[in-house]
Amino acid sequence: MDGARNSTLGWIGTGRMGYAMAERLAKGGCDLAVWNRTRDKALPLEKHGAKVVASLEELATRDIVFCMVSTWDDVKQVVGKLLAAGARPKMIVECSSISLEGSSELRKILSGEGIEYLAAPVSGNAKVIKAGKLTFVVSGPEKAYASARPYLDLMGSGSSYVGEGELARIAKICHNVFLGVVIQSLCEITILAEKAGMPRHAFLNFLNKSVMGSMFTRYKTPALVNLDFKVTFTPKLLRKDLDLGIDAGKAMDVPMPLASLTRDLLQTMIGHGMIEEDFATLVLMQAKASGLDIKPENKAVGDGLS
Ligand SMILES: NC(=O)c1ccc[n+]([C@@H]2O[C@H](COP(=O)([O-])OP(=O)(O)OC[C@H]3O[C@@H](n4cnc5c(N)ncnc54)[C@H](OP(=O)(O)O)[C@@H]3O)[C@@H](O)[C@H]2O)c1
């Protein structure tokens, strides 16, 4: 399998992320069979050459099975069903953002079945995937990584191999703790700037051009300027990742003061019932807390991705 793309692939989970990732594999000409709990969501992949299957059993003969669901409980459920259906793929590449403990339990289960396992969580949302800029952080046997790498490359702009075991999980958790803290800070300073009298688009234009600007601040700018909160990542999924970070900090005696504060701000938002839209609705919370009634600016601002 090394270096070439001649494996048969299975895919589990076509939510916001999984769909966009599988779409890149299908468009890249891979032999891909896809299963999603809600089958209809996966069906549009057929026009790109993927086969959408009705049961996990139909992934039984695939060489490499990718998994992109939500939480560790969900991963455990789908992989459990896959194995119970008699499937013994050569390798499972698990991309959901899950805990170290869950990942290591999965490694034990799979190694008992002689299945290679890579932990391969990702950075980027569905728009980032479409722009070809998704990145992976990967851990597990290096040889397995060499086999999976051509597919990872096809789904984005590359991967970082960080070592054996579950190291990729901690890297991803650290990444998303940073994401949470950065979005909260970005919301705070944007509201501060607006309350001082400048439009949000003008402030963010300055920030994005500065050394503090990043791919993230740029692609969140349209949401903050025009208050378009179509979900890229839900508040609850972000809370899960902050909790994973805080738990890891506790386990390793690392204080996480900013993560803890951000987690509680996010919890307050969730407690107010703000759960259906994007996590960038933190800006609405910040505006409310600042006595500011913010409105969409209806400005054509770029997201830095296209
Ligand atoms: N969105 C982002 O920006 C982003 C970025 C990086 C990483 N992530 C991580 O990527 C993962 C997926 O995120 P997402 O935004 O794509 O979530 P999502 O849109 O909610 O999709 C979740 C997917 O998992 C499936 N699923 C959930 N529980 C299941 C179960 N018990 N059995 C079978 N299928 C189940 C869902 O199936 P149905 O369609 O049937 O509901 C759906 O396909 C999460 O771990 C998230 O933390 C997300």
Closest C-alpha to 132, from 46, 56, 233, 21:
21
Give yes or no for residue 263 having a pLDDT over 60. Answer: yes
Give yes or no for residue 2 having a pLDDT over 70. Answer: no
Say if CB 93 and CB 69 are below 8 A apart.
no
Atom of ligand 1 nearest to the CA of 237: 47
| pLDDT per position as a tens digit, 195-221 | 999 999 999 999 999 999 999 999 999
Closest C-alpha to 23, from 44, 5, 9:
44
Query: What CA–CA distance (Å, rounded) separates 114 from 89?
Result: 9
Percent of the chain with pLDDT over 70: 99
Atom of ligand 1 nearest to the CA of 121: 7
pTM above 0.85, yes or no: yes
Closest C-alpha to 302, from 217, 186, 182, 185:
217
CA 7 / ligand 1 centre spacing (Å): 24
Average pLDDT over every residue of 225-252: 96
Confidence at residue 87, expressed as pLDDT on a 0 to 100 scale: 87
CA 295 / ligand 1 centre spacing (Å): 31
Give yes or no for residue 113 having a pLDDT over 70. Answer: yes
| pLDDT per position as a tens digit, 36-85 | 999 999 999 999 999 999 999 999 899 999 999 999 999 999 999 999 98
CA 153 / ligand 1 centre spacing (Å): 21
Per-residue tokens: 45: 């992949």
Confidence at residue 3, expressed as pLDDT on a 0 to 100 scale: 55
Query: What CA–CA distance (Å, rounded) separates 58 from 14?
Result: 16
- Choose one of 21, 103, 237 to mutate for the ligand 1 pocket test, by most ligand atoms within 8 angstroms of C-beta: 237
Q: How far is CA 223 from CA 3, 163, 187, 190, in A?
A: 39, 36, 11, 12
Confidence at residue 273, expressed as pLDDT on a 0 to 100 scale: 97
Average pLDDT over every residue of 277-295: 97
Query: What CA–CA distance (Å, rounded) separates 204 from 225?
Result: 8
Neighbours of 54 (CB within 10 A): 8
Query: What CA–CA distance (Å, rounded) separates 48 from 154?
Result: 15
Give yes or no for residue 279 having a pLDDT over 90. Answer: yes
Confidence at residue 306, expressed as pLDDT on a 0 to 100 scale: 80
Closest C-alpha to 7, from 35, 24, 32, 28:
32
Give yes or no for residue 157 having a pLDDT over 80. Answer: yes
CA 67 / ligand 1 centre spacing (Å): 10
pLDDT band at 106 (very low <50, low <70, confident <90, very high): very high
